[in-house]
Amino acid sequence: MRALIYNQKGGCGKTTTAINLGAALARLGDEAVTLVDLDPQTHLTAALGRRTDGQAWTVTQWLAGAPGSTLPVSKRLFLVPGDCDAQEPRPFADPLGGMDGTVLIDAPPVWNATVARLMAECDIILTPLEPDFLGMQGFNRLLQTMKKHGVPWSRLRILVCRYVDRLSIHREVRERLGQLFRSGTLLPVVIRNSVRLAEAPGFGRHIFDHAPDSSGASDYEAAARLLLEEWRARLGVQSSAVRRSRPETEEKGNDREESFGEAARRAAAQ
Protein backbone atom coordinates (compact mmCIF):
# COMPACT_ATOMS: atom_id res chain seq x y z
CA MET A 1 0.00 0.00 0.00
CA ARG A 2 1.25 3.44 -0.94
CA ALA A 3 -0.47 6.30 0.83
CA LEU A 4 0.03 10.01 0.43
CA ILE A 5 -0.92 11.71 3.68
CA TYR A 6 -2.19 14.97 2.38
CA ASN A 7 -4.30 17.99 3.18
CA GLN A 8 -3.54 21.53 2.06
CA LYS A 9 -4.73 22.68 5.46
CA GLY A 10 -1.76 23.02 7.80
CA GLY A 11 -1.59 21.57 11.30
CA CYS A 12 -4.39 19.02 10.90
CA GLY A 13 -2.37 15.98 11.96
CA LYS A 14 -0.57 14.77 8.80
CA THR A 15 2.81 14.25 10.43
CA THR A 16 1.30 12.81 13.62
CA THR A 17 -0.67 10.39 11.46
CA ALA A 18 2.33 9.40 9.34
CA ILE A 19 4.38 8.52 12.41
CA ASN A 20 1.79 6.74 14.49
CA LEU A 21 -0.21 5.07 11.76
CA GLY A 22 3.09 3.91 10.28
CA ALA A 23 4.17 2.50 13.64
CA ALA A 24 0.81 0.76 14.05
CA LEU A 25 0.99 -0.76 10.57
CA ALA A 26 4.52 -2.01 11.26
CA ARG A 27 3.31 -3.67 14.48
CA LEU A 28 0.19 -5.25 13.02
CA GLY A 29 1.35 -6.15 9.55
CA ASP A 30 4.10 -8.41 8.34
CA GLU A 31 5.82 -6.14 5.87
CA ALA A 32 8.19 -3.20 6.10
CA VAL A 33 6.68 0.25 6.49
CA THR A 34 8.64 3.20 5.11
CA LEU A 35 7.83 6.74 6.17
CA VAL A 36 8.86 9.42 3.69
CA ASP A 37 9.37 12.97 4.96
CA LEU A 38 8.39 15.00 1.91
CA ASP A 39 7.87 18.22 3.85
CA PRO A 40 10.80 20.71 3.94
CA GLN A 41 9.70 21.51 7.49
CA THR A 42 11.23 18.07 8.26
CA HIS A 43 8.88 17.62 11.23
CA LEU A 44 8.56 13.88 10.65
CA THR A 45 12.33 13.43 10.78
CA ALA A 46 12.67 15.61 13.89
CA ALA A 47 9.70 13.96 15.63
CA LEU A 48 11.44 10.62 15.26
CA GLY A 49 14.54 12.04 16.91
CA ARG A 50 16.66 12.11 13.76
CA ARG A 51 18.96 14.88 12.54
CA THR A 52 17.34 17.20 10.06
CA ASP A 53 20.59 18.42 8.53
CA GLY A 54 23.71 16.72 7.29
CA GLN A 55 21.95 13.50 6.26
CA ALA A 56 23.81 12.03 3.28
CA TRP A 57 20.70 10.52 1.73
CA THR A 58 17.38 12.29 2.04
CA VAL A 59 14.05 12.61 0.32
CA THR A 60 15.80 14.65 -2.39
CA GLN A 61 17.92 11.66 -3.39
CA TRP A 62 14.95 9.33 -2.95
CA LEU A 63 12.87 11.42 -5.36
CA ALA A 64 15.73 11.47 -7.84
CA GLY A 65 16.05 7.68 -7.68
CA ALA A 66 19.59 7.79 -6.26
CA PRO A 67 20.59 4.65 -4.35
CA GLY A 68 20.76 4.93 -0.57
CA SER A 69 19.49 3.48 2.67
CA THR A 70 16.50 4.33 4.77
CA LEU A 71 17.04 4.92 8.50
CA PRO A 72 15.70 2.23 10.84
CA VAL A 73 13.16 3.54 13.39
CA SER A 74 11.82 0.43 15.08
CA LYS A 75 10.95 -3.11 14.06
CA ARG A 76 9.80 -3.07 10.41
CA LEU A 77 9.61 0.74 10.46
CA PHE A 78 11.98 2.85 8.34
CA LEU A 79 12.43 6.52 7.45
CA VAL A 80 13.44 8.46 4.38
CA PRO A 81 14.62 11.63 6.14
CA GLY A 82 13.49 15.06 5.03
CA ASP A 83 15.49 17.84 3.45
CA CYS A 84 15.01 21.49 4.51
CA ASP A 85 16.40 22.60 1.13
CA ALA A 86 14.39 20.18 -0.96
CA GLN A 87 13.85 21.31 -4.56
CA GLU A 88 11.55 19.97 -7.20
CA PRO A 89 13.46 17.00 -8.64
CA ARG A 90 14.42 17.14 -12.32
CA PRO A 91 14.08 14.69 -13.85
CA PHE A 92 11.50 13.04 -11.60
CA ALA A 93 12.43 9.38 -11.14
CA ASP A 94 9.96 6.71 -10.11
CA PRO A 95 10.81 6.56 -6.40
CA LEU A 96 7.88 4.34 -5.45
CA GLY A 97 8.55 1.86 -8.24
CA GLY A 98 11.34 -0.05 -6.56
CA MET A 99 9.96 -0.04 -3.03
CA ASP A 100 8.65 -3.07 -1.18
CA GLY A 101 6.07 -3.02 1.56
CA THR A 102 3.97 -0.13 2.74
CA VAL A 103 4.97 3.46 2.06
CA LEU A 104 3.45 6.44 3.86
CA ILE A 105 4.40 9.86 2.51
CA ASP A 106 4.06 12.84 4.84
CA ALA A 107 3.26 15.68 2.44
CA PRO A 108 3.64 19.41 3.03
CA PRO A 109 0.45 21.51 3.19
CA VAL A 110 0.92 22.79 -0.36
CA TRP A 111 0.19 21.74 -3.92
CA ASN A 112 3.24 21.37 -6.17
CA ALA A 113 4.53 19.19 -8.98
CA THR A 114 6.06 16.64 -6.60
CA VAL A 115 2.84 16.24 -4.64
CA ALA A 116 0.95 15.91 -7.93
CA ARG A 117 3.28 13.18 -9.23
CA LEU A 118 3.19 11.21 -6.01
CA MET A 119 -0.56 11.58 -5.67
CA ALA A 120 -0.93 9.99 -9.09
CA GLU A 121 1.26 7.05 -8.00
CA CYS A 122 -0.32 6.36 -4.62
CA ASP A 123 -3.13 3.89 -3.94
CA ILE A 124 -4.81 6.11 -1.39
CA ILE A 125 -4.79 9.73 -0.35
CA LEU A 126 -5.21 9.70 3.38
CA THR A 127 -6.55 13.00 4.62
CA PRO A 128 -6.37 13.89 8.29
CA LEU A 129 -9.11 16.39 8.99
CA GLU A 130 -9.81 18.44 12.07
CA PRO A 131 -13.61 18.58 12.30
CA ASP A 132 -14.26 22.30 12.52
CA PHE A 133 -15.00 25.18 10.20
CA LEU A 134 -11.46 25.76 8.94
CA GLY A 135 -10.92 22.03 8.67
CA MET A 136 -13.96 21.77 6.42
CA GLN A 137 -12.85 24.74 4.35
CA GLY A 138 -9.44 23.22 3.81
CA PHE A 139 -11.03 19.92 2.90
CA ASN A 140 -13.29 21.57 0.36
CA ARG A 141 -10.19 23.03 -1.23
CA LEU A 142 -8.61 19.60 -1.37
CA LEU A 143 -11.68 18.19 -3.13
CA GLN A 144 -11.49 20.99 -5.69
CA THR A 145 -7.76 20.43 -6.22
CA MET A 146 -8.28 16.73 -6.80
CA LYS A 147 -11.10 17.40 -9.22
CA LYS A 148 -9.06 19.98 -11.11
CA HIS A 149 -6.17 17.56 -11.49
CA GLY A 150 -8.33 14.58 -12.36
CA VAL A 151 -7.59 12.54 -9.22
CA PRO A 152 -10.65 10.42 -8.38
CA TRP A 153 -12.21 11.05 -5.00
CA SER A 154 -12.59 7.29 -4.63
CA ARG A 155 -8.93 7.23 -3.59
CA LEU A 156 -9.64 9.45 -0.60
CA ARG A 157 -9.68 8.13 2.93
CA ILE A 158 -10.69 10.72 5.49
CA LEU A 159 -9.39 10.36 9.02
CA VAL A 160 -10.94 12.69 11.59
CA CYS A 161 -8.15 13.83 13.91
CA ARG A 162 -7.90 15.84 17.13
CA TYR A 163 -11.47 14.80 17.86
CA VAL A 164 -13.09 15.99 21.09
CA ASP A 165 -16.44 14.33 21.68
CA ARG A 166 -17.77 17.01 24.01
CA LEU A 167 -17.48 19.66 21.26
CA SER A 168 -20.75 19.80 19.37
CA ILE A 169 -19.03 21.14 16.26
CA HIS A 170 -16.81 18.04 16.17
CA ARG A 171 -19.80 15.70 16.53
CA GLU A 172 -21.80 17.56 13.91
CA VAL A 173 -19.03 17.78 11.34
CA ARG A 174 -18.30 14.11 11.74
CA GLU A 175 -21.97 13.23 11.32
CA ARG A 176 -22.21 15.43 8.25
CA LEU A 177 -19.14 13.83 6.70
CA GLY A 178 -20.78 10.47 7.30
CA GLN A 179 -23.83 11.62 5.35
CA LEU A 180 -21.80 13.01 2.47
CA PHE A 181 -19.28 10.24 2.00
CA ARG A 182 -19.84 6.53 1.64
CA SER A 183 -18.50 4.36 4.41
CA GLY A 184 -15.00 3.41 3.44
CA THR A 185 -14.12 6.94 2.35
CA LEU A 186 -14.70 8.28 5.85
CA LEU A 187 -12.85 5.93 8.17
CA PRO A 188 -15.23 4.82 10.92
CA VAL A 189 -12.68 5.61 13.63
CA VAL A 190 -11.45 8.93 14.97
CA ILE A 191 -8.14 10.02 16.43
CA ARG A 192 -9.02 11.74 19.67
CA ASN A 193 -7.19 14.75 20.94
CA SER A 194 -4.46 13.37 23.13
CA VAL A 195 -1.77 15.05 25.19
CA ARG A 196 0.35 11.93 24.74
CA LEU A 197 0.28 12.28 20.97
CA ALA A 198 1.30 15.93 21.22
CA GLU A 199 4.21 15.27 23.58
CA ALA A 200 5.66 12.14 21.93
CA PRO A 201 7.66 14.06 19.25
CA GLY A 202 9.52 15.85 22.05
CA PHE A 203 10.87 12.46 23.08
CA GLY A 204 11.64 11.45 19.50
CA ARG A 205 9.26 8.51 19.78
CA HIS A 206 6.09 7.21 18.21
CA ILE A 207 3.13 6.66 20.48
CA PHE A 208 3.65 2.90 20.90
CA ASP A 209 7.06 3.52 22.42
CA HIS A 210 5.98 6.62 24.30
CA ALA A 211 2.57 5.76 25.74
CA PRO A 212 1.33 2.36 24.50
CA ASP A 213 -1.74 2.43 26.78
CA SER A 214 -2.92 5.87 25.68
CA SER A 215 -6.01 6.70 23.64
CA GLY A 216 -3.69 7.87 20.86
CA ALA A 217 -2.13 4.41 20.60
CA SER A 218 -5.48 2.62 20.52
CA ASP A 219 -6.94 5.10 17.99
CA TYR A 220 -4.05 4.74 15.56
CA GLU A 221 -4.10 0.99 16.01
CA ALA A 222 -7.80 0.94 15.13
CA ALA A 223 -7.18 3.06 12.02
CA ALA A 224 -4.31 0.78 10.99
CA ARG A 225 -6.49 -2.33 11.37
CA LEU A 226 -9.11 -0.84 9.08
CA LEU A 227 -6.63 0.12 6.39
CA LEU A 228 -4.91 -3.26 6.58
CA GLU A 229 -8.22 -5.07 6.27
CA GLU A 230 -9.18 -3.01 3.27
CA TRP A 231 -5.80 -3.49 1.67
CA ARG A 232 -5.82 -7.25 2.19
CA ALA A 233 -9.32 -7.51 0.79
CA ARG A 234 -8.24 -5.47 -2.19
CA LEU A 235 -5.23 -7.70 -2.84
CA GLY A 236 -7.50 -10.71 -2.52
CA VAL A 237 -9.79 -9.54 -5.28
CA GLN A 238 -7.00 -7.64 -7.03
CA SER A 239 -6.96 -5.66 -10.15
CA SER A 240 -9.06 -3.59 -12.40
CA ALA A 241 -11.62 -6.23 -13.26
CA VAL A 242 -13.14 -5.86 -9.82
CA ARG A 243 -12.20 -2.27 -9.23
CA ARG A 244 -14.47 -0.36 -6.93
CA SER A 245 -17.22 1.43 -8.79
CA ARG A 246 -17.21 5.21 -8.70
CA PRO A 247 -18.48 6.49 -5.41
CA GLU A 248 -21.54 8.68 -5.16
CA THR A 249 -19.33 11.62 -4.29
CA GLU A 250 -17.92 11.69 -7.80
CA GLU A 251 -21.27 11.40 -9.49
CA LYS A 252 -22.82 14.23 -7.58
CA GLY A 253 -19.68 16.16 -6.81
CA ASN A 254 -21.01 19.68 -7.20
CA ASP A 255 -24.22 19.24 -5.22
CA ARG A 256 -22.35 17.58 -2.46
CA GLU A 257 -19.64 20.16 -2.34
CA GLU A 258 -22.29 22.84 -1.97
CA SER A 259 -24.03 21.10 0.87
CA PHE A 260 -20.64 20.40 2.35
CA GLY A 261 -19.84 24.13 2.41
CA GLU A 262 -23.24 24.88 3.91
CA ALA A 263 -22.70 22.30 6.60
CA ALA A 264 -19.37 23.87 7.43
CA ARG A 265 -20.92 27.30 7.80
CA ARG A 266 -23.81 26.00 9.89
CA ALA A 267 -21.53 24.00 12.15
CA ALA A 268 -19.22 26.98 12.62
CA ALA A 269 -22.13 29.26 13.53
CA GLN A 270 -23.13 27.09 16.48
Ligand X SMILES: Nc1ncnc2c1ncn2[C@@H]1O[C@H](COP(=O)(O)OP(=O)(O)OP(=O)(O)O)[C@@H](O)[C@H]1O
For helices 133-148 and 168-180, what crossing angle results, to 10°?
30
Give φ, ψ of 157 to 5 degrees. -130, 120
Judged by CB under 6 A, which of 6, 13, 27, 119 binds ligand X?
13
Which lies closer to Mg ion via its Cβ, residue 5 or residue 169?
5
Half-sphere exposure of 190 (CA within 13 A, CB side): 20
How many CB atoms are closer than 10 A to CB 234? 16
Amino acid at the residue 201? P
What b/e string do you get for 63-87 counting C-beta neighbours within 10 Å, with b at 16 or more?
beeeeeebbebbebbbbbbbbeebe
61 binds Mg ion (CB under 5 A): no
Contacting ligand X within 139-168 (CB under 6 A): 161-162
114 binds Mg ion (CB under 5 A): no
Residues 130 and 138: their CA atoms lie apart, in Å, by: 10
Which lies closer to Mg ion via its Cβ, residue 193 or residue 249?
193
Q: How far is the CB of 263 from ligand X (least distance, A)?
A: 22
Residues 100 and 178: their CA atoms lie apart, in Å, by: 33
The region of 35-43, 88-96, 117-125, 151-159 touching ligand X under the rule CB under 6 A is: 35-43
Contacting Mg ion within 11-50 (CB under 5 A): 14-15, 43
Q: How far is the CB of 13 from ligand X (least distance, A)?
A: 4
How many chain residues are in contact with ligand X, going by CB under 6 A?
A: 18
Judged by CB under 6 A, which of 114, 194, 214, 249 binds ligand X?
194
Could you tell me if 139 and 7 are in contact, meaning their C-beta atoms sit under 8 angstroms apart? Answer: yes
Q: What does 101 bind: ligand X, Mg ion, none (CB cut-off 5 to 8 Å by kind)?
A: none
40 binds ligand X (CB under 6 A): no
117 binds Mg ion (CB under 5 A): no
Q: Which is nearest to 227 in space by CA: 103, 73, 130?
A: 103
For helices 253-269 and 133-148, what crossing angle results, to 10°?
160
Q: How far is the CB of 11 from Mg ion (least distance, A)?
A: 8
**Residues making contact with ligand X (CB under 6 A):** 10-16, 39, 41, 43, 109, 161-162, 191, 193-194, 197-198
Binding stretches for Mg ion (CB under 5 A) = 14-15, 43
